[in-house]
Amino acid sequence: FLSLVAEFCCGFFVILILGNFWFLAVLYLLWLYFDWETPCTGGRRSEWVRSWTVWKYFREYFPIHLIKTSDLSPNHNYLFGFHPHGVLVAGAFGNFCTGPSFKNLFPGLTPYLHIMPIWFSCPFFREYIMSAGMVSASKESVSYVLNNEGGGRASIIVIGGAEESLNAHPGSLTLNILKRKGFIKMALKHGAHLVPVFSFGENELFKQVANPKGSWLRNVQEKLQKIMGFALPLFHARGVFQYSFGLIPYRQPIHTVVGSPIPVKRNLNPTTEEVDQLHALYLQKLKQLFEEHKKNYGIPEHKSLIFE
């Protein structure tokens, strides 16, 4: 969905350049030059955009639900680790960028969904995603959000990143997390409490062409991901008037469960051992969150998370 909107915005910009409105394109480029760092300095959200009626229909289509398991004091800053990435990351967008659910459940907290910096280089599209509350996933951006002495901010990071989308098959419970410790360092640096988040149903929205590790397709996808910075999963789902094939996601319920916070004491220069210790604790709490709630969302008792 984001890719389609981005392509439309880029196409519109090209039309401005090639048409009689080239001067508007020049003015926008000038604006872009002076506004380039905004995605790394908290963005520019619009409650009007975040409350568009279309997002209500978007959430109800699946439907998307946000589940709270513990109170979060607005006197602290938090780093939410979102799992899994899936293909669409619908749970993260629907719950943290649209509607009143987050505000109602966690009053006093402002959510910031961090996404790949490359999206903010697309003309016009960058304005749209910033208005929804999305900001860059760069270190500078995360630091800006969490460096708020009064608290009240929540950075949401999709930990598995683009690489994890290649595992987004129905029923898959594989998370790319063992080597991802940058978010742990950021939490320690700013004393931000860690909050594991698991979105049940995220991997059920699309079917993906078989791409087991070691296959030629997976090798090509991984090489392209390293070159371009984002993955290209070959997925399909349903059509508009039929359910056999298309690019519209299946209507599968998504339940995004926000776990209890892991208190983190500020440490500007954590050692490798301290990072590893907190990372291990985070994995333990994430697995505990999954095990406590999986029975509520149709996950068989014998199924467990796989960390790689």
Assigned domain for 19 exists: no
Q: How confident is the model at residue 11 (pLDDT cuts 50, 70, 90)?
A: low
Assigned domain for 7 exists: no
| Per-residue confidence (pLDDT) for residue 241, from 0 to 100 | 80
Partners of 80 in the β-ladder: 156, 195
| Per-residue confidence (pLDDT) for residue 233, from 0 to 100 | 86
Query: CB of 69 within 8 A of CB of 260?
Result: yes
| Per-residue confidence (pLDDT) for residue 268, from 0 to 100 | 95
Assigned domain for 289 exists: yes
Assigned domain for 25 exists: no
Is the model's pTM score more than 0.75? yes
SS (H, E, C) 93-133: HHHHCCCCHHHHHCCCCEEEEEECHHHHHCCCHHHHHHHCC
| Per-residue confidence (pLDDT) for residue 246, from 0 to 100 | 87
Assigned domain for 200 exists: yes
Q: Report whether pLDDT(18) > 70.
A: no
| Residues of the domain holding 210 | 37-307
**Beta strands 235-236 and 134-136, pairing class:** unpaired
Task: Give the separation between CA 142 and CA 137, rounded to whole angstroms.
Answer: 7
As a whole number, the mean pLDDT across the chain is 91
Assigned domain for 24 exists: no
Q: How confident is the model at residue 26 (pLDDT cuts 50, 70, 90)?
A: confident
| Per-residue confidence (pLDDT) for residue 151, from 0 to 100 | 96
Count structural domains, the chain: 1
Q: How confident is the model at residue 22 (pLDDT cuts 50, 70, 90)?
A: low
Assigned domain for 58 exists: yes
Alpha-carbon dihedral sign for residues 57, 59, 61, 63: negative
pLDDT in tens, 59-118: 999 999 999 999 999 999 999 999 999 998 999 999 999 999 999 999 999 999 999 998
Read off the pLDDT of each residue in 231-235 and give the average, rounded to a whole number.
Answer: 83
Assigned domain for 16 exists: no
Task: Give the separation between CA 140 and CA 129, rounded to whole angstroms.
Answer: 18
Q: Report whether pLDDT(40) > 70.
A: yes
Of all residues in the chain, the percent with pLDDT exceeding 90 is: 73
Partners of 18 in the β-ladder: none
